[in-house]
A and B are shown apart, each in its own frame.
Chain A
Amino acid sequence: MNIVVKLFAGARDIVGKNEVALEFESPITIGELRTRLIDQHPALQPLLPYAMFAIETTYCDDATPIPKNATVACIPPVSGG
């Protein structure tokens, strides 16, 4: 299955792209995606443990399975206001 991960702010600058597409043979959870992102982009290591994730526009915890062809957003610690 194909998962598109949107990247923002510091995470986007580290990777140098607005989004990355990852291919998986079987369904995975948000937590597994977090680990895979760090594997593929080791420079994300300082930031990713503290990032939240959303499926489409809804926050999800690490145990949440990612639906087929979902768009996931990687949301590093926010600083609005």
Chain B
Amino acid sequence: MIQLTHQTIDSAAFVRQAQSPDAGAVVLFLGSTRRMTNGRETRTLFYDSYEEMAEKELTNLEAEARRRWALTECFIIHRLGEVPLGEASVAIVVASPHRRDAFDAGQWLIDTLKQSVPIWKQEHWADGTTDWVHPMPLSNHTTKSDN
């Protein structure tokens, strides 16, 4: 199941749902808003997306993960709008009979999500400036905004 939400992600509820007699392993990955990036302090993050396409891409990711690994459950939840410091912007929960598949699927899902799903984060720095984050080849380029 995939979901885009503007609410706090209740990761414990998804972990509970993923637990079953067939799942010998349940892996949870949380991506959370970090205070410091390359020596700069973040005040908060905002996430924007092309929602119809992001939902489609996330659905494709789930299908591909289920095709590659023996998963008994697969949840991909991404939060949009403001995600304050320490809170989760993304939760991935994968369950499988044996741990290797769950670890591998979880790693692949977050790595691929970061490359292909049309979602963008905007840094709101402690100094009052903002930057959209657009990773480019050779550098982690950002685009200045006026507000």
Contact = CB atoms under 8 A, between A and B. Distances in A.
A47 B50 contact: no
Contact of B48 (A9, A14, A46, A81): A9
Given A14-B143, A78-B117, A80-B114, A57 B56 contact: yes
Nearest to A77: B134
A12 to B, nearest CB: 8
B134 A79 contact: yes
Contacts, number: 89
Chain A, interface size category, equals 20 to 34
A50 interface: yes
Chain B, interface size category, equals 20 to 34
Interface string A42-72: 0000110010001001010000000000000
Contact of B122 (A9, A14, A77): A9
Interface of B: 31, 47-50, 52-54, 56, 78, 89-90, 110, 113-122, 132-137, 141-143, 145-146
15 contacts: A13-B146, A57-B53, A57-B56, A76-B120, A77-B134, A77-B136, A79-B119, A80-B49, A80-B54, A80-B78, A80-B114, A80-B117, A80-B119, A81-B78, A81-B113
